[in-house]
Amino acid sequence: MNLAGKTAVVTGAAKGLGRSTAIRLAESGARVAALDINREGLEQVREAIAAAGGEASVQVVDITDNAAVEAAIAEILAAFGHVDILVNNAGSGWHKQTPFKDTPNPDWEWILDLNLKGTLYVTHALLNHMAERKYGKIVNVSSIAATTGIPKLAVYAASKGALVAFTKSLAMEMGPYGINVNCISPGLITDEKVAPPTTGTFLGRKGTADEMAYLIEFLVSDKASFITGVDYLIDGGRVLGPKGV
Ligand SMILES: NC(=O)c1ccc[n+]([C@@H]2O[C@H](COP(=O)([O-])OP(=O)(O)OC[C@H]3O[C@@H](n4cnc5c(N)ncnc54)[C@H](O)[C@@H]3O)[C@@H](O)[C@H]2O)c1
């Protein structure tokens, strides 16, 4: 993919899928504005991008803080002049699994704040800018939890389902402004914190962050110009059936 001349904002870019995406987009020529709460991880991403000959800015921003998000986006626009690509990747909440009836409010409010409202804040801060330029590529990172549901992760699944609905609705609203809005729904990504007895996939393994980043790279490129409002399951066949290997 050729992303030369494009500027991409990636949230949750300090590690995992966000880090892989930031590096992938930079390797394809995009200037990357990486947002995260993890300063050390952000610096490592900046170094990795610089070592590969790319350009990145990093900002420590909590995306659940709307004022901080607006300030960060204003800073990015002042520095880079324009933003073409937004990857709403920052998200969490799958590590602590409890039945909803036993989940106290604070435990689920922060999941909604981060996974749903954080994405809304960042998107809202950029949308008028993209609309004025009649150009934008937005990818939201959901989860197969939005399609299958997952017991003991009801709030996480709800937040990710909301992102799919948001993606489709926004794609309809913003199509006339030249803005494509899509969504990816990963299955399990390699992560030592999550060690299920089986992967549940038909490929017999978990996915990697790089495999997810390749799909995002395609969706934010002009090669995907006629694709909008789609939720891409990228899960090694996990949702095809209950068995997997
Ligand atoms: N790992 C999986 O198996 C899996 C599966 C399906 C979907 N997903 C989704 O993919 C996305 C990335 O997952 P990951 O596994 O790479 O996660 P991760 O925990 O490895 O990385 C998430 C990043 O988001 C950052 N972050 C957390 N709160 C933030 C905040 N308030 N503001 C800004 N940044 C914040 C973290 O510091 C971290 O760098 C998430 O949206 C997640 O729900 C992951």
Q: Is the CB of 235 under 6 A from ligand 1?
A: no
Across the strands, what pairs with 32?
A: 8, 56
CATH of residue 86's domain is 3.40.50.720
Residue 167 in any domain: the answer is: yes
Determine whether the shortest distance from the Cβ of 64 to ligand 1 is under 6 A: yes
In this prediction, residue 175 carries a pLDDT of 98
In a domain, 245, yes or no: no
Of the candidates 104, 92, 197, the one whose C-alpha atom is nearest the C-alpha of residue 141 is: 92
pLDDT at 20 over 90: yes
Give catalytic status of residue 121 as yes or no: no
Which atom of ligand 1 is found nearest the CA of 91? 41
Residue tagged active-site, from 135, 156, 177, 214: 156
Alpha carbon of 210 to ligand 1 centroid (Å): 14
Structural domain for 141, as ranges: 7-240
Q: What is the pLDDT of residue 198?
A: 64
* Ligand 1 center to 89 CA (angstroms): 6
Q: Is the CB of 201 under 6 A from ligand 1?
A: no
Average pLDDT of every residue of the chain: 94
**Are the beta carbons of 146 and 84 closer than 8 angstroms?**
no
What average pLDDT does range 86-108 have in this prediction? 95
**Is residue 82 domain-resident?**
yes
Query: Which pLDDT score, from 0 to 100, does residue 178 have?
Result: 98
pLDDT for the residue 60: 98
79 in a domain, yes or no? yes
- Each residue's pLDDT tens digit, 67-82: 999 999 999 999 999 9
Q: State the average pLDDT over residues 205-229.
A: 97
Ligand 1 centroid, distance to 90 Cα (angstroms): 5
pLDDT of residue 243: 64
Q: Is residue 105 part of a domain?
A: yes
Query: Rounded mean pLDDT of 174-187?
Result: 98
For residue 174, the tally of other CB atoms under 10 A from its CB is 20
Give the single-character DSSP code of 54. -
What is the predicted pLDDT for the residue at 1? 80
Helix (H) or strand (E) holding 139: strand 136-141
Cα separation, 112 vs 116, whole angstroms:
5
What pLDDT score was predicted for residue 191? Answer: 62
- Ligand 1 mean position, distance from CA 136 (Å): 23
Mean pLDDT calculated for residue range 51-60: 96
Instruction: State the average pLDDT over residues 171-199.
Output: 84
Count up the domains in the chain and report the number.
Answer: 1
Residue 205: pLDDT band (50, 70, 90) is confident
Q: Determine the average pLDDT of the residues in 27-36.
A: 98
Atom of ligand 1 nearest to the CA of 194: 3
- CA dist., res. 158 & res. 111, Å (int): 10
Which ligand 1 atom minimizes the distance to the CA of 191?
A: 1
State yes or no: pLDDT of 244 exceeds 60.
Answer: no
Q: Per the domain annotation, does 173 fall within a domain?
A: yes
| Model confidence band, residue 204 (pLDDT cutoffs 50, 70, 90) | confident
Q: Is the pLDDT of residue 195 over 70?
A: no
CB atoms within 10 A of CB 119: 26
38 CA: nearest ligand 1 atom: 37
Q: Is 16 in the pocket of ligand 1 (CB under 6 A)?
A: yes
Is the Cβ atom of 58 under 6 angstroms away from ligand 1?
no
Per the domain annotation, does 86 fall within a domain?
yes
Tokens of 174: 């913003």
Tell me if 15 CB under 6 Å of ligand 1.
yes
Residue 92, ligand 1, Cβ within 6 A: yes
H or E element at residue 16: helix 16-27
Given a contact cutoff of 8 angstroms between Cβ atoms, the answer to whether 77 and 55 are in contact is no
1 lies in some domain: no
Cα(208) to centroid of ligand 1, in Å? 14
Q: What is the pLDDT of residue 196?
A: 57
